[in-house]
Structure 1
Amino acid sequence: MPEFDFVTSSYSNTGGNCVEVARNIPHTIAVRDSKAPDGPILRLTPKGWAEFTASLGLSHAAAGRGTGPR
């Protein structure tokens, strides 16, 4: 199983209720709940991630690009 390098959005607060995103595995965007780091991981293609974030009204560039709290 690949080792994902998860980060939280720069828009996240320090309360630990975050979605974490990993982009370090080619052709895969991984998403998980920060409260359950050993829980399930959602794996998407870059196209699937772009469609998902677009459906939320987020730009592809803004979604999951942060590295921690602002």
Structure 2
Amino acid sequence: MQVIVDEDKCCGAGTCVMVAPDVFDQRDEDGVVVLLDAQPSAGLHDGVREAANMCPAAAITLDES
């Protein structure tokens, strides 16, 4: 799995951080998503998928090929 984030789309909701804190964080100054792990281990995939699905700005995309 490859995780891609579009910082320009991010609205700073923080849902991704709550769902997958090992993969996502937020910048202190503006709350924009910070990608901590672009290729998370298999054990984190379900949380990453949930974070992508819950993102209100659709700023997280996944390449699972």
Asked whether the two chains share a fold, i.e. TM above 0.5, the reply is no
Instruction: Considering Cα pairs closer than 8 Å and 6+ residues apart, tell me whether 1 or 2 has the greater RCO.
Output: 2
Q: Report the TM-score when normalising by structure 1.
A: 0.27
Higher helix share: 2
Which has the greater radius of gyration?
1
Q: Report the TM-score when normalising by structure 2.
A: 0.28
